[in-house]
Amino acid sequence: MLWYDDHNNVLFDVETYSINDPARIDTNRWEYQYRGDRIRFQYRKLSDHDSTVIKLVKNQGDTLLQYREEAHYYRLSTGVTDVFETVYTLAYSEGRLIKKEEFDVNQNARKITQYSYYDHGRIKRKQIDRIPESADEPVYVGGPGSDDESYEYKLDDAGRVTKFYKIIGGRKFLIATYRYRKNDSRRN
């Protein structure tokens, strides 16, 4: 179950099943501080000892945002709290996310995701580069996936998506089909 704030951000998440511990029920809690409509601080309490903190550290208007995340995980077996640090840099152009860089401070590794868009605003391509390059091919779960994906859409006369395709390695996969009621004028 999820609860949201006025900005449509999650406040509470009750997890009633864990594959690793089926009897465990967790409640995750989030707190936010805003500057205008933008989150400048996020605190997430995962359990009695685990939490994450994300702080806005750089804001260059509507073109570049940088956040620093610290994740704290308590290891019951050792009595030690591990701290993992990640820096996220988000670059925007014309209100669209065009580049997302994740820097894992502990592993000294970067994941750079670049996005391109169609004129109608829907995503056209997502391309991920990993530095250093991973020795293993990433595994995508829940459907076809790749670090280099293109997307195609079939639109109806109202500009709504009727079919959504993902293209990977030259193969085209139908991901979703949408139908609308005749009097439904909402756009997706």
| Residue 103: pLDDT over 60 | yes
End-to-end, the C-alpha distance of the chain in Å comes to 24
Band the pLDDT of 187: cuts 50, 70, 90. low
Which pLDDT score, from 0 to 100, does residue 1 have?
Answer: 73
Of 106, 101, 81, 78, give the one whose Cα is nearest residue 91.
Answer: 101
| Residue 35: pLDDT over 90 | no
Tell me which amino acid residue 6 is: D
Domain ranges of the chain: 2-138, 147-188
Which pLDDT score, from 0 to 100, does residue 184 have?
Answer: 58
Band the pLDDT of 182: cuts 50, 70, 90. confident
The b-or-e profile of 70-91 (16+ CB within 10 A means b, else e) is ebeeeeeeeeeeeeeebbbbbb
Tell me which amino acid residue 122 is: R
